Amino acid sequence: MIILSGGTGTPKLIDGLRQLLPDEEMTVIVNTGEDIWSSEVFISPDIDTVLYLFAGILDKNKWWSITGDTYNTYNQMKELGRFEILMLGDRDRAVNLVRTDMLKKGLTLTEATAEISESFGIRAGIIPMSDDVVTSMIETPGGQMHFQEFWVTHKGMPDVLSFEYRGIGEARLSPAAKEALEKDDCVIIGPSNPMTSIGPILALPEIKEILKTKKVIAVSPIIGKEAVSGPAGKLMAAKGLDVSSKGVAELYKDFIDIFVYDIRDGVLNPEEIEKMGIKAVALDTMMTDEEKRMNLAKEILMLFR
């Protein structure tokens, strides 16, 4: 099973899948468009969330960072007048320092992720979407800024005029991701932001053509007219897209077979999805506890049969 992941929605679904599938049967291809350099450390938040999830140390209140982490370094830096965009925990920083050191020594992000994964004893495949640098940059009335600056520093408040995946023109799909996709016919596109979590992965060359040859199930991160969490709505609107599950299906329609939307969605007419040649399935996608995460995962696995 291949899972395209980013943000916090898809990791919740992976948490459900882990209750049903052995970790070694899962390969997660992860967004790197939100990666950021901070105080000489290269942070890859979406990779880390998946790493910590499989390592059993993810803070499942926030769905990022390590549970019970301390913030001594972050606080000391602040006292010294160094404000970091991301509040990075001490253990989390250690992982990111190790990664940065590996990258400086010439390892690719794929190799560094594999080594860190192995150190944690992780049996799932965790692969960055690309070894090239791609960065989600948000254009606001106050100027262009990194996604993390928009989302964390400015709490997603500025108006969004447009956004771009800087570097995408020169970026290639990670060879390891391509190899994993060659070996597996089942793909889940998780309920993550279709603009800044899944969008950068899909913007890479080749991936859409590969997905067309697979059985692909996508889960909508939008219920009615609003994103379950995060800035997906604002970013979709900035691209002139309909902020709805139909808008998400439009983005994925050329390469998905099944579209899962939420049972509470009062706006979506499933016939409109079926007209795109996609099977529409209503499920409970609000993964607020372990049981709900497992139930959604179970229903999705049954759809692959």
Q: State whether residue 235 is helix, strand or coil.
A: helix
Among 15, 46, 132, 265, which residue sits at the site for ligand FO1 (rule: CB under 6 A)? 46
* Residue (195 or 280) nearer to ligand FO1, CB: 195
Q: How many residues bind ligand FO1 (CB under 6 A)?
A: 15
* Residue 148 in the binding site for ligand FO1 (CB under 6 A): yes
* Residue 64 in the binding site for ligand FO1 (CB under 6 A): yes
Taking a C-beta distance cutoff of 8 angstroms, is the pair 46, 58 a contact?
no
* Residue 45 in the binding site for ligand FO1 (CB under 6 A): yes
Which pair of tokens denotes residue 10?
């898809």
Distance of closest approach, residue 189 Cβ to ligand FO1, in angstroms: 16
Q: Residue 91 CB: number of other CB atoms within 10 A? A: 16
Interaction with ligand FO1 in 84-103: which residues (CB under 6 A)?
Answer: 86-88, 92
Q: Is 166 exposed, middle or buried (0-12, 13-18, 19+ CB in 10 A)?
A: middle
Which pair of tokens denotes residue 256?
């998905």
* Residue 125 in the binding site for ligand FO1 (CB under 6 A): no
Instruction: Read off the amino acid at residue 270.
Output: P
Distance of closest approach, residue 50 Cβ to ligand FO1, in angstroms: 10
* Residue 35 in the binding site for ligand FO1 (CB under 6 A): no
Distance of closest approach, residue 277 Cβ to ligand FO1, in angstroms: 31
Distance of closest approach, residue 147 Cβ to ligand FO1, in angstroms: 7
* Residue (15 or 46) nearer to ligand FO1, CB: 46
Task: Name the strand (E) or helix (H) holding 299.
Answer: helix 290-303
* Residue 231 in the binding site for ligand FO1 (CB under 6 A): no
| Spatial separation of the C-alpha atoms in residues 305 and 19, rounded to whole Å | 18
Distance of closest approach, residue 145 Cβ to ligand FO1, in angstroms: 13
| Spatial separation of the C-alpha atoms in residues 112 and 90, rounded to whole Å | 19
Distance of closest approach, residue 5 Cβ to ligand FO1, in angstroms: 10
**Contact residues for 179 (Cβ-Cβ < 8 A; gap 6+):** none
* Residue 151 in the binding site for ligand FO1 (CB under 6 A): yes
**DSSP-assigned beta bridge partners for residue 140:** 143
Instruction: Read off the amino acid at residue 198.
Output: I
Task: Name the strand (E) or helix (H) holding 42.
Answer: strand 41-43
Residues of this chain that interact with ligand FO1 (CB under 6 A) are: 7, 34, 43, 45-46, 48, 64-65, 86-88, 92, 148, 151-152
